[in-house]
Amino acid sequence: MKPKYIEIADSFESQIKDGLLTPGTMLPAESVLQAEFGVSRVTIRKSLQILVDKGLINRTRGSGTYINDPKAQHDALHLLGFIEEVSRQGKTPSSRVLKFELKKPTRMVADKLALSTDDDTYEIHRLRCINGEPEIYEITHMPASLFPDLSISVMNGSKYDYIEEDKGLKIAKSSQSVKPYILDADMASHLDEPEAQAILKVESTGFLICGTAFEYTVNYFRLHQYSFEFISTRS
């Protein structure tokens, strides 16, 4: 049996996810929740702290406890494009291309894409926004031989739609690694964060159904409007 404070937190989380508690709603005072659940103030505070840690509520001294606008979930187990993933969750995605260059790859990028350093690649920097707020700084490298007509216009939209619908290629999988990253001044300015702030860095290499690597991408997640959830099952 779960401890009471976890049961209470789970109850509130379910109500939030089911839309019974909407963003901006103020929760009752701790004393009211104590009476409602028949527990101590310490138990209520432990329950609320779980919700704070998950980004579901915001507690403001002298004001109250409010339901947050839910973060978009990044599903690392299913390969969806940013636009598709965010749109499915009722939020508005947008992208802005900050850099678009045709260049020779570094040795590391060439190895990721199984290319020679004499081959041509595109290097594209995009700022990905949710509801108009910057959330991800993305750096993508793509083989020019696969996408000779790639353009800024394409990259302002959905990269995956271009690959699968316009080019008729089938995306199979993405190999990803996740690690912490300390922001430098330039990237911090794009993400509207203080320099030296810790964020999340996700490196991924995407492969077509034929086994060809079509992209090597590094995403820097601000995590104000995005969260990562990994669900493991045991058979």
pLDDT tens figures, 102-146: 999 999 999 999 999 999 999 999 999 888 889 899 999 999 999
Residue 221 backbone phi and psi in degrees, to 5 = -95, 125
Top CATH class of 4-67 equals mainly alpha
Topology of the domain comprising 72-228: Chorismate lyase (3.40.1410)
Query: What are the structural domain ranges in the chain?
Result: 4-67, 72-228
Distance CA(187)–CA(192), nearest Å, equals 8
Average pLDDT over residues 46-51: 89
The count of other CB atoms within 10 Å of the CB of residue 169 is 17
> Half-sphere exposure (CA, 13 Å, Cβ side) for 8?
23
Strand partners, 221: 136, 200
Q: What is the average pLDDT score of the chain?
A: 86
Q: Which of these, 58, 134, 65, lies nearest to 96 by C-alpha position?
A: 134
